[in-house]
Structure 1
Amino acid sequence: MQSKISQYTTEIEAFEPKTAEDLERFRIRFLGTKGIIKDLFDEFKSVSAEEKRVLGKVLNQFKQSAEAKFNAFKDDFTEQTNATNKEDLTLPGEGFQIGARHPLSLVRKQIVEIFKRLGFVLAEGPEIEDDWHNFSALNFPEEHPARDMQDTFFVQKPTGTESDEDTKQEAFALRTHTSSVQVRLMEARKPPFRALMPGRVYRNEAISARAHCFFHQVEGLYVDEKVSFADLKQTLYYFVQEMYGEGTKVRFRPSYFPFTEPSAEMDISCTICKGAGCPMCKQSGWVEILGCGMIDPNVLENVGIDSKKYTGFAFGMGIERITNLKYQIKDLRLFSENDVRFLKQFETEVI
């Protein structure tokens, strides 16, 4: 054993590593968990007590010499690596990409700013709604198709404890429109008020270039004494001119909504084809952008507002549709695919 130690000592003294890899191989060979020193100490356990007194000191000195050799060269290679990796402050800096606002965020902000000039304030509500706020208070009859599972994502909230044998289920839904916020606002406040309600809504629809299972709406509400349809028209005329420019044409068509009477849909001249006809406007030259109308007296009474004293109007628009026309985007799916190439187009836009 002593002759082995002598032989290995000569090897250690002659060792001169050229690279950090050479030094690592030296460490593994002598100091590793399966290295020479570990083997020698295992062998040391089987020698006689008399030999241990002599070999113990020699073996410890051998281990110390191997560690000293490794540490000496380790410091040298560490200094070399640090010198190599030292940053050159004279080199030009590395650039970094600046993020961009999402086009829906840009348009939502612009819509809010336009209506703020007319005195509208913001209101928000939950995305999971009960039947009263999402349907019943808005004058939706029980047989209305919007209550069907084909159009609405319903969820169930258990009422009662698990021990109750007759545990009942109360229907909740992912809100299908932000009109539910109108109900909550009218329940909580007394007229007069003007409010704008932006938010995400959900409908059980097939995803395509023109439809999605979730999208974003902005709804407006104005309740006061002697509010007329003329007030509604002038409000929306102002919005269109501010959003799309003074040359944009507007038309109103009679329509039906359970919560407004009379009701209308508003079209604008297509911003993509300028009225000549294209797939976006279905060759008609017109694109529908919102629904509107005078609040049905039943809705006012449902939320505790005297319909003989107060009147009001409401309108709602899809932010995706407004954005499509403003930036001429033809596929709704682009808004939710997180494609950086698409979003990068809007990095120069400011709010």
Structure 2
Amino acid sequence: MLEKIDALLVEVENFSSINKDEIEQFRIKFSGKKGIINDILAQFKQVPNEQKKEFGQKINTLKQAVEAKLEGLKSATTSSILFEKDDLTKPGFPSELGSRHPINLVKNRIIEIFRSIGFAVADGPEIEDDWHNFTALNLPEYHPARDMQDTFFIETNPDLLLRTHTSSVQIRYMEENEPPMRILSPGRVFRNEAISSRSHCIFHQIEGLYIDQNVSFADLKQTIQFFTTELFGKSKIRLRPSYFPFTEPSAEVDVYWGLNSETDYRITKGTGWLEIMGCGMVDPAVLANVNIDADKYSGYAFGMGIERIAMLMYQMSDIRMFFENDKRMLEQFKTL
């Protein structure tokens, strides 16, 4: 057996090629699952005890020789291809730099702001089941509020659907974790809506959730106040009563944008106020659905559309521009 390994070492040393197929066959022959090295190792038990030390050393030597040979052949092959296809005397051209998508820019900025006050990021599947997307969020079957979200259901399984909001991530997180919890759930969502300059069937949301003892609506307002000041540089906000099935009480949040230009008049319809998100205190029924004691814990939730925020920040009038991959538009964000 030792003589066989010595012969294999000679074979490895003498092997030379720049043909990728031949090199791959060499690798499989020696290092593949059914290769020579594994075959020899399988015979180790049959080696007499007095020869096992020398036998093991020989195997390691063979293994190292094969690895070194493959590495050398890889370098030689790369160099050969380089010289074969490229004229190194030609002047070089700078590679064109890419740019971040405006949706990612806004999403990352929002995450950065909330991370600074203790929020972590949580993720979940885009194909959801009815429980996590609706029922656990206080939207049982046949609840009229389900009509607020036109949904894409999976034809082969009516219990599955494309998530209509990232609140489903919050349900999954609450099922698997104990309070206190403070999370953000950014992601892509889907609704069966007509595509226009102001709406799309695919868009992005970012939602927040904070569950702990003695959490109040005042805590929610203070968090939103901090966020709007950091993101927009505008601290004047107002909260209008609203309705969401999974929060009670619920509110819509407006930020005072001002009336300093013609654009301000247009996007605020002459009021100076812009709606940016919905929010509210988590309904006790939702906490009960995920086995959190509503007598001990309370919490707030909020959510916003990332496209809507991006359109405000970059003064864009058509949501479809985010999905068309128009290079002329994307190149404007290279320096951001």
- Same-fold status (TM-score > 0.5): yes
Residue number in structure 1 paired with 2:199: 211
Q: Give how far 1:145 is off.
A: 4.6
SS at match of 2:164: coil
SS at match of 2:279: strand
Q: Which of 161, 164, 167 is equivalent to 1:176?
A: 164
Aligned equivalents of 2:239 and 2:218: distance in 1? Answer: 12
The answer to whether the Cα contact below 8 Å between 1:103 and 1:323 also exists between their aligned partners in 2 is: yes
Q: TM-score, normalised by structure 1?
A: 0.67
Aligned equivalents of 2:240 and 2:271: distance in 1? Answer: 14
Residue number in structure 2 paired with 1:291: 278
Q: Per the alignment, do residues 150 and 236 of structure 1 end up closer, same or farther by CA in structure 2, a change over 3 Å counting?
A: closer
Residue number in structure 1 paired with 2:310: 323
Q: Specify every segment of 5 or more residues in structure 2 that has no aligned partner in the other structure, as ranges.
A: 1-85
Aligned equivalents of 2:251 and 2:148: distance in 1? Answer: 26
Q: Give how far 1:324 is off.
A: 1.1
Say whether residues 1:312 and 2:293 are aligned partners. no
Map of 1:1-351 to 2, 5 A cutoff?
88=89, 93-145=92-144, 147-148=146-147, 151-158=150-157, 170-245=158-233, 247-270=234-257, 277-349=264-336
SS at match of 1:253: strand
User: Which range moves more in the overlay, 261-270 or 215-224?
Assistant: 261-270
Q: Deviations over 1:301-324 (max 9, x none)?
A: 011000000000000010011111
Q: TM-score, normalised by structure 2?
A: 0.70
Q: Per the alignment, do residues 114 and 95 of structure 1 end up closer, same or farther by CA in structure 2, a change over 3 Å counting?
A: same
Q: Per the alignment, do residues 114 and 323 of structure 1 end up closer, same or farther by CA in structure 2, a change over 3 Å counting?
A: same
The answer to whether the Cα contact below 8 Å between 2:217 and 2:281 also exists between their aligned partners in 1 is: yes
Q: Per the alignment, do residues 334 and 217 of structure 1 end up closer, same or farther by CA in structure 2, a change over 3 Å counting?
A: same
Q: Give how far 1:275 is off.
A: 9.3
- Segments of 4+ moved more than 6 angstroms: none
Q: Give how far 1:325 is off.
A: 1.2
Aligned equivalents of 1:109 and 1:87: distance in 2? Answer: 40
Q: Deviations over 1:109-163 (max 9, x none)?
A: 11111110111111011101111100011011433455459811111345xxxxx
The answer to whether the Cα contact below 8 Å between 2:259 and 2:272 also exists between their aligned partners in 1 is: no
Identity among equivalent pairs (%): 59
The answer to whether the Cα contact below 8 Å between 2:149 and 2:164 also exists between their aligned partners in 1 is: no
Q: Which amino acid aligns with 1:301?
A: A
SS at match of 2:175: helix
Aligned equivalents of 1:223 and 1:262: distance in 2? Answer: 15
What is the root-mean-square deviation in Å for CA atoms of aligned residues?
Answer: 2.3
Q: Per the alignment, do residues 344 and 254 of structure 1 end up closer, same or farther by CA in structure 2, a change over 3 Å counting?
A: same
The answer to whether the Cα contact below 8 Å between 1:156 and 1:171 also exists between their aligned partners in 2 is: no
Q: Which amino acid aligns with 2:249?
A: P
User: Which range moves more in the overlay, 323-332 or 294-303?
Assistant: 323-332
The answer to whether the Cα contact below 8 Å between 2:252 and 2:275 also exists between their aligned partners in 1 is: yes
The answer to whether the Cα contact below 8 Å between 2:145 and 2:245 also exists between their aligned partners in 1 is: no
Q: Deviations over 1:15-49 (max 9, x none)?
A: xxxxxxxxxxxxxxxxxxxxxxxxxxxxxxxxxxx
**The structure with more radius of gyration:** 1
SS at match of 2:172: helix
Q: Give how far 1:330 is off.
A: 1.4
Q: Which amino acid aligns with 1:226?
A: N
SS at match of 1:200: strand
Q: Which amino acid aligns with 1:334?
A: M
Q: Specify every segment of 5 or more residues in structure 1 that has no aligned partner in the other structure, as ranges.
A: 1-84, 159-169
Q: Deviations over 1:149-180 (max 9, x none)?
A: 9811111345xxxxxxxxxxx42110000000
Aligned equivalents of 1:341 and 1:275: distance in 2? Answer: 25
Q: Which amino acid aligns with 1:230?
A: A
Q: Which amino acid aligns with 1:212?
A: H
